[in-house]
């Protein structure tokens, strides 16, 4: 059940853009339904749909529900094109910490998506090669007509994708240095901070801002402080997710723990 008892925010925020649910399951199901509805609408129109996808613990429930819809509700992914937000650098795609592995594990290997339609910003080789790769990734998104729906999580430091604090709002896909908070939060997956890559490739703040729909999903009490800053605080590169305040196509979907300080 959606909970609308958040009083001090402007009405358009509470009625249109902010959705708070009792628990993570309900919030995740809401996001999955938005994605499925767009996929199906495009199918009826005979069109493809371009999804921007996220990794991490937050979207797992969304992917679980999409897989369930594929298995039991006839949701087809034949018309779906995906671009993932980010990937560590360097990393091997078969490493269990890689986002290639993650996406196969939680979504792609369970649905009928055409492998040619999947894009994850994985690159190897020296940094000068990476720059060309990033430009090509950005150009591929543009060539597909841009992102129709971008799913986002949020880091405890306010990052979206791996756009760490200080990321310019006009940034595009590029190699970035990971913030200490990000590397610290990732160490459980890598078996120690010394194993966490120091860099990553991420689509940019500008790339994200141009998506036609944006869904920011945040779950759990560990996100409540940064959610307060991102929604109630100033719009600033110091809190990259704060840019969503200025984007009318962005919706916030929280469980009540993530929304506790609003």
Q: How far is the CB of 241 from ligand PGA (least distance, A)?
A: 9
Is the distance from CB of 36 to CB of 80 less than 8 angstroms?
Answer: no
Of 84, 117, 157, 257, catalytic: 157
Is the distance from CB of 258 to CB of 216 less than 8 angstroms?
Answer: no
Q: What is each CA distance from 252 to 16, 135, 208, 213, in whole angstroms?
A: 9, 29, 15, 11
For ligand PGA, the binding residues (CB under 6 A) are 56-58, 153-155
Q: Is 67 or 158 the residue whose CB approaches ligand PGA more closely?
A: 158
Active site residue 78: no
Q: Is 137 or 162 the residue whose CB approaches ligand PGA more closely?
A: 162
Active site residue 79: no
Q: Is 24 or 113 the residue whose CB approaches ligand PGA more closely?
A: 24
Q: How far is the CB of 15 from ligand PGA (least distance, A)?
A: 26
Q: Is 75 or 85 the residue whose CB approaches ligand PGA more closely?
A: 85
Active site residue 86: yes
Of 29, 65, 148, 164, catalytic: 164
Active site residue 164: yes
Of 70, 159, 255, 257, catalytic: 159
Rounded to whole angstroms, the Cα distance separating 153 from 54 reads 7
Of 29, 65, 86, 185, catalytic: 86
Q: Which residue is nearest to ligand PGA (CB)?
A: 56
Q: How far is the CB of 154 from ligand PGA (least distance, A)?
A: 5
Q: How far is the CB of 221 from ligand PGA (least distance, A)?
A: 12
Q: Is 75 or 243 the residue whose CB approaches ligand PGA more closely?
A: 243
**Active site (catalytic) residues:** 86, 157, 159, 164
């Amino acid at each position: 059940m959606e909970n609308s008892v958040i009083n001090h925010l402007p009405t358009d925020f509470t009625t249109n853009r902010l959705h708070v649910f009792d628990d993570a399951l309900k919030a995740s199901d809401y996001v999955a339904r938005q994605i499925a509805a767009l996929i199906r609408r495009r199918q009826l129109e005979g069109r493809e749909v371009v999804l921007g996808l996220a990794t991490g613990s937050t979207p797992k429930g969304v992917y679980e529900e999409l897989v369930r819809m594929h298995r039991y509700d006839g949701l087809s992914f034949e018309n779906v094109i995906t671009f993932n937000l980010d990937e560590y650098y360097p990393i091997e795609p078969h490493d269990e910490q890689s986002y290639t592995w993650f996406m196969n594990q939680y979504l792609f290997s369970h649905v009928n998506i055409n492998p040619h339609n999947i894009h994850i910003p994985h690159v190897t080789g020296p940094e000068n090669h990476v720059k060309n790769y990033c430009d090509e990734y950005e150009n591929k998104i543009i060539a597909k007509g841009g992102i129709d729906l971008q799913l986002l999580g949020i880091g405890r430091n306010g990052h979206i994708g791996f756009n760490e604090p200080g990321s310019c709002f006009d940034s595009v896909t590029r190699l970035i240095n990971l913030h200490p908070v990000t590397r610290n939060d990732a160490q459980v997956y890598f078996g120690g901070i010394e194993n966490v890559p120091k860099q990553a490739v991420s689509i940019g703040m500008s790339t994200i801002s141009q998506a036609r729909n944006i869904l920011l999903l945040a779950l759990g009490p560990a996100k409540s402080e940064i959610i307060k800053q991102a929604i109630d605080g100033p719009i600033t590169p110091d809190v990259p997710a704060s840019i969503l305040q200025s984007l009318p196509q962005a919706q916030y979907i929280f469980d009540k723990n993530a929304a506790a300080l609003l």
